[in-house]
Chains A and B, each alone.
Chain A
Amino acid sequence: MKTAALHTLHVDMDAFYASVEVRDNPDLAGKPVCVGGPAAGRGVISAASYEARTFGVHSAMPTSVAQRLCPNLVILPPDFERYTEASRQIMSVFQSYTPLVEPLSLDEAFLDVAGCERLHGDAIKIGRAIKRDILRETALVASVGIAPSKFLAKLASDLDKPDGFRVIQPDEVRAVIDPLPVSKIFGVGERTAKRLAAMGIATVGDLASRSHEEVVKEFGASGAWIHDLAHGKDARRVNPRREEKSHGCERTFAEDVNDQDELRVYLLQFSEEVAFGLRGKGLRGRTVTLKVRYPDFKTVTRTKSLSAATNLGPRIYSVARELLERVRPGPMRLVGIQVSNLEDVRVPTQTTLFGELDSAGDDERAEWQAATKKLERATAGIDKLRRKFGKGAVVSGSLLGRPVPRGRDQ
């Protein structure tokens, strides 16, 4: 194995959503702040400031629980447009140092700075500069981890949070990771940690001291993976063009929804949202999945594939609607749709003689084709308006007056 050089960075913003809120409203500084859905609406916390965290509040916690832990908690509704704006600035800071940026979410990315030394200095120098630039450009604080691999870089940024800057040199890897609990290993969740504990493995060092065979025997392929990571082996490279596998949008309702018409309006809204996202990324998808959760938390999905990939909201919606007919009707706690089987719109397309509808008559086919072409043209125009005046600038009539959905709902 090639000796790993120090060139992988992991940059992660501290309490990103909450920090943006505090930045834009200085009165909140020093108070326990979090961003999330209202307790009355069964919302969950999506980000908590460090002040809130001292009360035990953390993300993914139901808002009602968070309020019990911290009665003075300031709960703010998420404003994704501002977060996206900040994210854009942060990503462009990354891009100014290296083209090898692999975003993991709005506020987190891996960077590979190999080969940038002559331009910007070594990884440590670049890490410091990025931290400084982000603060200057966005007034937000980032934690930076620098290490020989992705796994270690992510670990490093986490070790020193908030306002962290941590370097793990190749020769200190063992000393740093050995005492850490196994749960710090990417891929070791609660259940795996329990099974490892039963084997007498509590720390990364414990895991590393076991033989590869033993761990593989117990956990199969994922055993090989976590054993490698425990040894600091992580051959994954920073991939700036990580292929997206799916695009989706779902929502847990404040109150269970039983009305089919209302459910359909949600589906239309999600279809438009997902389609807009796909178009923004130059993708289109062939498979539509509907997800439904009933009040008893039973979750079902239904899937249908189209004969041609699409990124048009109405086309996705018509499939979603059809899929809704195929699930048991009744009050629903959550609905969501996902489009997968994605391809780049620039992929050459084999055109067809008779259109895409397999079961319809020829007239219907021709009409469908013409309608799709028209829809494509209209959508391109609408997208322009949306980019200029905001997503809510042009919506279908049935969505008028509804708030613009915001990715994964609280």
Chain B
Amino acid sequence: MKVLCDREKLREGLAIVNNVVPARSPKPILENVRVIVNDSSLQLIGTDLEVSVRYSIDDVKVGDPGVTVIPARVALDFIRDLTSETVTIDTNDNVCTITGGADSCELVTMDADEYPVTPTFEDKDTLTLQGGTFTRLVGQTAFAAAREAGRYAMHGVLITVQDDNLQMVATDGRRLALSSTPVQDVPADIPPAIVPTKGLQMFCRVIEDPLSNIKIKFGTNQIGMKTKHAEIFARLIDGDYPRYSEVIPTECKNSVEANTQMIERKLRLVANVTGDEARAVRLQITPGQMEFFGHSVGRGEAHAMMEIDYKGEGSDIAFNPDYVLDGMKNAERETVRLEFNDKTSPGKFSLGENYIYIVMPITVDV
């Protein structure tokens, strides 16, 4: 195998692949990148058996097509630190030589047949949407997915496609984010998919141009995504996703609209004085104003006030300010709406046309 390609493009490809390649694995071959050279392009493949990525680089000069498997991290580091415009990859027996100008290294290769088989994207029955839309939906939801604790199914984002609508939901059991977007030319019978957060982040990482389209392929146990240069597959999380629609309040007694930035500012201000372990900011709503109150046993207490357009009865509810701020960061509108029934039931933040964020309150037994 012999190929010549642009150094910067190769570096970028290797960097993407290295996001998936495990630094240390019980299967050492997974610490490698599979390099395939065919008649006109070079492909880099990496996988941790949960997520796999195939990255293609065009505009290469192929001397000899072939396949090799080389240490992913070392290859990236070496190529990053080269100074030449172009790089040549040349394999001979068990050695892969990488040359840039007058500099070179020889890497030990592994048996290409040992490398696990990774899926290839097929263009049939796929869903097409703009890359930027996809990235936005992930950004608006994935942060709310469970990380360490909680049910395994909540460690991913639930993606459903129904009635020409693509929807993403994530929850860790304490808050829940739901965002959706209209889509067209939807293939029939797309099953709901729980996609690991890591896979989604990889998807977003390879979207270079937010305005160009990407393709998504829904399978029974994996989901695939294709951009101009990359194909990513993620294994779906097998499990029952919580029945989230039942916990989204439909009718609420209290409804407040307020300026997004102002809420963010006041929350952050008051949160400075709340404790570390039990962070809570109480929102007290009375006609015309919303008061923020936070306190901690060791530090003291803080008050903040903002004017709101509200005519209903007085009420109050307390939230973990970090949770609320997580949502506010992604708000699409200048004004957001908060709705809730009482201080023990969920607070519903409407942060965009098709974006809602549910936060469970913090309660105090007396």
Contact = CB atoms under 8 A, between A and B. Distances in A.
A349 interface: yes
A351 B344 contact: yes
Interface string A295-339: 000000000000100000000000000000000000000000000
Contacts of B244: 353
- Residues of B in contact with A, size category: 20 to 34
Contacts of B363: 348-349, 351
A353 B173 contact: yes
Contacts of A93: none
Nearest to A362: B243
Interface in B99-119: none
A54 B366 CA distance: 51
Interface string A330-369: 0000000000000001111111111000110110000000
A348 B280 contact: yes
Interface string A5-49: 000000000000000000000000000000000000000000000
A307 B149 CA distance: 10
B240 interface: yes
B347 to A, nearest CB: 10
B361 interface: yes
Contact of B362 (A346, A351, A362): A351
Contact of B318 (A348, A353, A361, A362): A348
Nearest to A353: B247
A353 B280 contact: no
A361 B243 CA distance: 9
A350 B240 contact: no
Main secondary structure on A side of the interface with B: loop
A349 B174 contact: no
Main secondary structure on B side of the interface with A: loop
Given A348-B278, A348-B280, A354 B242 contact: yes
Interface residues of A, number: 15
A358 B146 CA distance: 13
Contacts of B365: 345-346, 349
A351 B242 contact: no
Contacts of A361: 240
- The winner among B280, B320, B360 for most chain A CB atoms within 10 A is B360
B151 interface: yes
B273 to A, nearest CB: 14
Given A358-B150, A358-B151, A349 B173 contact: no
B176 interface: yes
Contact of B242 (A307, A345, A350, A353): A353
A353 B364 contact: no
Contacts of A358: 150-151
A350 B246 CA distance: 19
Contacts of B150: 358
A351 B278 contact: no
Interface in B232-246: 240, 242-244, 246
Contacts of B173: 352-354
Contacts of B240: 361
Contacts of A350: 174, 320, 360, 362
Given A351-B360, A353-B176, A362-B243, 5 more contacts: A346-B366, A349-B364, A350-B362, A352-B173, A353-B346
Interface of B: 149-151, 171, 173-176, 240, 242-244, 246-247, 278, 280, 318, 320, 344, 346, 358, 360-366
Would you list the 3 A-B pairs with minimal beta carbon distance, nearest first?
A351-B360, A348-B278, A348-B362
Interface of A: 307, 345-354, 358-359, 361-362
20 contacts: A307-B149, A346-B366, A347-B364, A348-B318, A348-B363, A348-B364, A350-B174, A350-B320, A350-B360, A350-B362, A351-B344, A351-B360, A351-B361, A353-B242, A353-B360, A354-B173, A354-B247, A358-B150, A362-B242, A362-B243
